[in-house]
């Protein structure tokens, strides 16, 4: 069984020690919740490292569950207009033993727990696929600059000094899980810089793939960017896919990554020893 680690949802940067106000990164965790379902369907075991109260696999389709309840004349409660509910519940129960939920909220909690999780996975080697899709803040307020109590509006305009968040990806690649297949995401709103930013990330951190996407079209199109001048590949969700039953781009993303991960494992499992191939 291959292992998959997903990191989803947006981080929160608190503006006070006793936090009332905060800076939130945009994310409901849709991509993570959907991708988890498709990784489980491919036989992976998944650690779902997610923002607390973000969308979760299977239950993500039932946010307004209460609105779909009705009461019969006999006083019994019925579920209406949820034709796939029994299917999703059955699938979840079948896969539950391969799915572990670990929540986070604050940015510092995310960074700490991410390192701990990946450290525990070090011995699993290339069987591990790290899927870094969380919306992680690039900026935060240094601990020593945080006021203890709620910022008061009577003090007038608020000026914040934000510092750059230390990048953990380089440590993951070089020290913590150097044998894992690591994928990160690059979200932009300006199409003209997306490819360059994705390629810059690959060159800087040396991991296995960056999936670039635009905020405006993230549900319909993504681009895979690889190291070593391997050609980029764009994946779209089109009408012909929908007609074949593929309704979410995450299904195509996961299908592509599973193929890449299998090739990665095969290549790393061959060790040249005196002209012979040794497998471990």
User: What CATH code is carried by the domain that includes residue 112?
Assistant: 3.40.50.10300
Question: What is residue 207's DSSP assignment?
Answer: -
> Above pLDDT 70, what percent of the chain?
93
- Is 72 domain-assigned? no
Binned at pLDDT 50, 70 and 90, residue 61 comes out as: very high
Task: Supply the range of the domain harboring residue 148.
Answer: 3-63+84-279
Cα torsion for 8, 55, 219, 264, to the nearest 10°? 40
3-state secondary structure of 217: coil
- pLDDT exceeds cutoff 60 at 278: no
- Is 75 domain-assigned? no
- Is 71 domain-assigned? no
3-state secondary structure of 222: strand
- Is 263 domain-assigned? yes
CA 159 to chain centre: 32
Binned at pLDDT 50, 70 and 90, residue 91 comes out as: very high
Helix 30-41 and helix 249-268, axial crossing angle in degrees, nearest 10: 60
Number of domains in the chain: 1
Give CA–CA dist 212/246, Å, rounded.
21
- Is 42 domain-assigned? yes
- Is 74 domain-assigned? no
What per-residue confidence (pLDDT) applies to 46?
96
Q: Which tokens go with 74?
A: 């006999």
- pLDDT exceeds cutoff 80 at 8: no
What per-residue confidence (pLDDT) applies to 5?
63
Give CA–CA dist 131/183, Å, rounded.
5
- pLDDT exceeds cutoff 80 at 274: no
Give CA–CA dist 255/5, Å, rounded.
16
Q: Which ranges of 43-123 does DSSP label H, i.e. alpha helix?
A: 85-95, 107-120
What per-residue confidence (pLDDT) applies to 153?
87
What per-residue confidence (pLDDT) applies to 268?
82
- Angle at CA 65, nearest 5°, toward 246 and 254? 25
- Is 78 domain-assigned? no
- Is 53 domain-assigned? yes
Angstrom distances, CA of residue 253 to CA of 236, 240, 256? 9, 16, 5
Q: What is the mean pLDDT of the chain?
A: 91
19: region left, alpha or beta (phi > 0 left; psi from -120 to 50 alpha): beta
């Amino acid at each position: 069984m291959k292992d998959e680690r997903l990191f989803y949802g947006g981080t929160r940067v608190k503006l006070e020690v006793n936090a009332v106000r905060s800076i939130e990164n945009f994310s409901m965790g849709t991509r993570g919740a959907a991708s988890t379902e498709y990784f489980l369907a491919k036989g992976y075991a998944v650690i779902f490292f997610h923002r607390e109260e973000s969308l979760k696999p299977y239950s993500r389709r039932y946010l307004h569950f209460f609105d779909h309840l009705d009461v019969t004349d006999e006083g019994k409660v019925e579920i209406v207009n949820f034709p796939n509910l029994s299917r999703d519940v059955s699938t979840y129960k079948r896969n539950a033993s391969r799915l572990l939920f670990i929540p986070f909220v604050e940015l510092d909690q995310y960074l700490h727990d991410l390192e701990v999780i990946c450290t525990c996975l070090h011995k699993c080697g290339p069987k591990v696929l790290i899927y870094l899709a969380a919306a992680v803040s690039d900026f935060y307020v240094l601990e020593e600059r945080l006021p203890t109590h709620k910022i008061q509006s009577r003090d007038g305009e608020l000026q914040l000094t934000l510092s750059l968040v230390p990048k953990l990806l380089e440590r993951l690649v070089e020290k913590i899980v150097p044998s894992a297949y690591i994928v990160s995401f690059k979200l932009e709103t300006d199409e003209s810089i997306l490819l360059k930013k994705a390629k810059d990330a690959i060159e800087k951190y040396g991991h296995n793939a960056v999936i670039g996407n635009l905020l405006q079209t993230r549900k319909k199109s993504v681009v895979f960017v690889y190291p070593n001048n391997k050609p980029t590949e764009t994946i779209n969700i089109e009408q012909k896919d929908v007609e074949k039953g593929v309704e979410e781009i995450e299904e195509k993303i996961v299908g592509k990554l599973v193929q890449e991960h299998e090739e990665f494992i095969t290549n790393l499992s061959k060790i040249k020893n005196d002209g012979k191939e040794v497998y471990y």
